[in-house]
């Protein structure tokens, strides 16, 4: 998937028609737009967003709600109630077909005021196959754009260096982005559609077609509906908790930013961070020890019954039941021999003969007449339990001691945190801000706990539904209609299981592979051996650095308060790595069968906060990880990128603007 051309008409800084054609060459796949700040490079990035999605984003210069899409010079020349058109058309090339989307909006000037109002919005679409363009079509083509360039991924392939210096990143957005880019979203949607959407799922609707033949079946169906209602309520609660938790996380980061910017607190904040890490480390250990103790207590019956086990074992050893030791001998075997009147060896068994009487007596002490056949195996099991029970006390005591040690370490660290907080509050009088931050921390943790609790409840409800469904399957009337429904349910559930297995197969290794690439790219792009960016199970990006520990060994610590450069580096590495992984997966799979997205990358001011050395290291990675690179940058950064070897001079542009003019223009500048 590559952008072929963008054409703007009266869009923001660009008066009249301005056009940029992009390189689609597989080797020289970079297109460059150079220009000074405020000349209109970001406007081109905005044109991509508006052309595809009908919206623009906030910039450091203006909020989106305050931005006039209609060119200011055009607006100034309009009379009262005059109308003017704004449009952006984008051509996309994929597998030999060219697609073009054209978004048009009409604006009217509000009387004599220097303001305009949008009065219409229209999206047109056409295709070009073998050089022949179709006619423009009017309609709702947002779904087609969504299939090519999912809106939720726009921040990943439309990279704004200034916006990505933000600290925040949503857990759900990041997880969804990975699933979509890596092509496993269709499998997730399939699972959701078939079974995971509760009462709205295919399986549930099919099961609703069964003919209930008794009051008990009606009652079981009612119980299932009740559990499904509980699941839906729990899912809604999870969504609310996620929104609240994300909001509190942003507020916490704002408070941390206030503290970070006060130089007087720098040393104390470093010490405070270290103590908080001690608390987190101790809490993780306590949680692990507690889980170990709980798991060990699941076998506690062996310990508490130890005093009885020896008596039972002695009793069993003193018992003597002849015949119990004959393996696999049952009463049915003896009945067969008595009925045929012949032993397995061929010897006749006559009524009232010694052989006949022996078999009759033997039948009394073997299964099912007697439990003697199980005595030996049960005795062995009791002896194993006795041995395990004796070790249980020592193992639990050891874990309990470790738990107490971790608890003591946590309390010591918490006391130090309280001392540092009081000292910081006295120094900069941020007590109110700190209380606000701590309150947000508590609220975020509480919401995360609610999420975990509701997720556990959902799993429990699903298990209960499964049990009821199995009971229904056993009791349901065997009518022709029910048999037909049963086949359809079986097909749907088999398809669900296949989708779940395939999703698991593709999703499981992604995190490890992505982090391996991020580690390599961070090292290559920033010439950094002591830091690494990591995407963890919470689907948040973390930055770690290594330093010498007390024992002389290198220890990894998380850096939570990052500079703008570190934030951009961390986020940039993530985007580059996920695009690289997508390209790798696409090559491993058959291209025509792969759901992995093939995206270009459009970068606006990606290097503004980075050094020349880092610019060169980063830039050389871009052409290899993306099918196409479109980049807007300052002249001063061009030489540092060393991208000329990947750039055809026909696709180097410059944004220019007259000193007193409001509008900009785009021109080809060839070699730079």
**Is residue 270 located within the same domain as residue 391?**
yes
Strand partners for 103: 88, 123
* Residue 302: predicted pLDDT: 61
Give a yes or no: residue 314 inside a domain.
Answer: yes
The answer to whether residue 553 scores a pLDDT higher than 80 is no
Query: Measuring CA to CA, how many Å separate 377 from each of 301, 319, 374, 628, 657?
Result: 19, 14, 6, 69, 92
User: Which ranges of 298-353 would DSSP assign to H, the alpha helix?
Assistant: 300-304, 306-318, 331-340
pLDDT value, residue 87: 96
Q: Same structural domain for residues 306 and 416? A: yes
Residue that is last in its domain, among 379, 398, 428: 428
| Residues 6+ positions from 135 with CB-CB distance below 8 Å | 126
The span from the CA of 48 to the CA of 55, in Å, is: 9
Q: Within this chain, do residues 607 and 527 fall inside the same structural domain, yes or no?
A: no
The answer, yes or no, to whether residue 509 has pLDDT greater than 50, is yes
In a domain, 345, yes or no: no
For residues 451 and 245, the answer to whether their CB atoms sit within 8 Å is yes
Does a structural domain hold residue 606? yes
pLDDT for 651 equals 94
- Residue at which a domain ends, from 361, 394, 428: 428
Of the candidates 545, 576, 540, the residue with the CA atom closest to the CA atom of residue 253 = 540
Of 576, 648, 641, 583, the residue nearest 614 (C-alpha): 641
Residue where a domain stops, chosen among 575, 608, 623: 575
In this prediction, residue 167 carries a pLDDT of 47
pLDDT digits (tens, 9 = 90+) for 13-38: 999 999 999 999 989 999 999 988 77
Give CA–CA dist 519/533, Å, rounded.
Answer: 6
Same domain for 634 and 551, yes or no, is no
Structural domain including 565 reads 510-575
How is the chain split among helix, strand and coil, in percent rounded to 5? Answer: 60, 15, 25
In contact, 51 and 6? CB cutoff 8 Å: yes
What is the C-alpha to C-alpha distance for residues 146 and 621, in angstroms, rounded to an integer? 28
Confirm if 630 and 3 have CB atoms less than 8 A apart: yes
SS3 34: strand
pLDDT digits (tens, 9 = 90+) for 261-317: 565 566 677 788 888 888 888 888 888 888 887 777 766 666 666 566 666 666 666
End-to-end CA distance of the chain: 28
* Cβ-count burial 585-605 (b if 16+ within 10 Å, e if not): bbeeeeeeeeebbbbbbbbbb
Pair (523, 604) in one structural domain: no
- In order of 4, 126, 651, 654, the CA distances from 20 in angstroms are 9, 19, 8, 10
| 127 in any annotated domain | yes
Tell whether 81 is covered by a domain: yes
- Give the residue among 662, 632, 660 at the shortest CA–CA distance from 71: 662
Residues 126 and 11 in one domain: yes
In a domain, 635, yes or no: yes
H helical segments located in 532-669: 564-588, 612-619, 622-625, 635-641
Alpha carbons 149 and 161: distance in angstroms, whole number? 20
How many independent structural domains does the chain possess?
A: 3
**Same-domain status, 613 and 661:** yes
pLDDT digits (tens, 9 = 90+) for 382-431: 667 666 666 777 788 888 888 888 888 888 888 888 888 877 765 555 66
Specify if 284 maps to a domain. Answer: yes
Is residue 121 helix, strand or coil? strand
Q: Is 615 part of a structural domain of the chain? A: yes
187 vs 51, residue with greater confidence:
51
């Amino acid at each position: 998937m590559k952008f072929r051309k963008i054409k703007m008409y009266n869009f923001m800084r660009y008066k009249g028609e301005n056009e940029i054609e992009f390189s689609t060459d597989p080797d020289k796949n970079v297109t460059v737009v150079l220009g000074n700040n405020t000349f209109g490079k970001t406007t081109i990035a905005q044109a991509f967003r508006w052309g595809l999605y009908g919206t623009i984003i906030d910039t450091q210069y203006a909020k989106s709600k305050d931005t006039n899409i209609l060119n200011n010079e055009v607006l100034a020349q309009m009379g009262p109630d005059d109308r003017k058109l704004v449009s952006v058309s984008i051509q996309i090339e994929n597998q030999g077909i060219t697609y073009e989307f054209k978004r048009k909006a009409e604006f009217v000037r509000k009387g004599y005021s220097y303001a305009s109002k949008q009065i219409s919005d229209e999206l047109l679409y056409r295709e070009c196959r073998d050089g022949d363009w179709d006619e423009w079509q009017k309609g709702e083509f947002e779904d087609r754009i969504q299939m090519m360039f999912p809106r939720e991924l726009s921040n990943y392939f439309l990279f704004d260096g200034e916006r990505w210096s933000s600290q925040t990143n949503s857990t759900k957005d990041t997880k969804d982005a990975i699933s979509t880019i890596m092509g496993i979203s269709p499998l997730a949607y399939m699972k959701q559609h078939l079974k995971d959407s509760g009462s709205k799922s295919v399986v549930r609707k099919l099961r609703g077609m069964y003919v209930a033949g008794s009051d008990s079946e009606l009652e079981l169906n009612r119980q299932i509906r009740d559990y499904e209602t509980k699941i839906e309520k729990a899912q809604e609660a999870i969504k609310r908790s996620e929104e609240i938790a994300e909001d509190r996380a942003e507020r916490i980061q704002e408070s941390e930013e206030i503290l970070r910017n006060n130089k007087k607190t720098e040393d104390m904040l470093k010490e405070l961070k270290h103590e908080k890490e001690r608390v987190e480390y101790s809490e993780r250990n306590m949680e692990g020890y507690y889980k170990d103790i709980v798991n060990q207590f699941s076998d506690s019956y062996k310990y508490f019954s130890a005093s009885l086990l020896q008596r039972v074992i002695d009793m069993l050893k003193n018992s003597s039941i002849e015949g119990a030791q004959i393996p696999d001998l049952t009463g049915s075997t003896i009945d067969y021999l008595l009925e045929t009147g012949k032993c397995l060896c061929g010897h006749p068994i006559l009524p009232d003969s010694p052989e006949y009487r022996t078999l009759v007596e033997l039948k009394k002490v073997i299964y099912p007449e007697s439990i003697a056949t199980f005595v030996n195996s049960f005795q062995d099991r009791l002896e194993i339990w006795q041995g395990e029970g004796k070790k249980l006390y020592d193992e639990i005591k050891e874990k309990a001691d470790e738990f107490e040690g971790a608890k003591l370490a946590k309390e010591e660290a918490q006391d130090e945190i309280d001392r540092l907080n009081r000292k910081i509050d006295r120094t900069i009088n941020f007590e109110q801000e700190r209380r606000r931050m701590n309150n947000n921390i508590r609220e975020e943790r509480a919401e995360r706990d609610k999420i975990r609790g509701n997720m556990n409840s959902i799993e429990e409800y699903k298990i209960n539904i499964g049990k009821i469904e199995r009971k229904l399957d056993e009791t349901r009337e065997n009518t022709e209609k029910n048999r037909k429904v049963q086949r359809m349910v079986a097909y749907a559930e088999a398809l669900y299981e296949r989708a779940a297995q395939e999703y698991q197969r593709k999703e499981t290794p992604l995190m490890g592979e992505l982090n391996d690439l991020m580690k390599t790219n961070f090292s290559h792009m920033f010439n950094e051996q002591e830091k690494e960016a990591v995407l963890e199970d919470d689907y948040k990006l973390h930055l770690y650095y290594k330093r010498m520990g007390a024992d002389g060994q290198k220890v990894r610590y998380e850096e939570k308060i990052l500079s703008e450069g570190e934030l951009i580096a961390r986020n940039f590495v993530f985007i580059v790595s996920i695009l690289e992984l997508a390209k790798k997966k696409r090559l491993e799979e058959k291209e025509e069968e792969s759901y992995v997205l093939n995206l270009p990358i459009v970068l606006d001011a990606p290097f503004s906060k980075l050094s020349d050395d880092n610019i060169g290291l980063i830039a050389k990675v871009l052409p290899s990880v993306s099918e196409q690179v479109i980049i807007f940058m300052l002249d001063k950064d061009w030489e540092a990128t060393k991208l000329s070897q990947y750039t055809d001079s026909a696709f180097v542009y410059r944004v220019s603007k007259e000193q007193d003019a409001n509008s900009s223009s785009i021109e080809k500048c060839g070699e730079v």
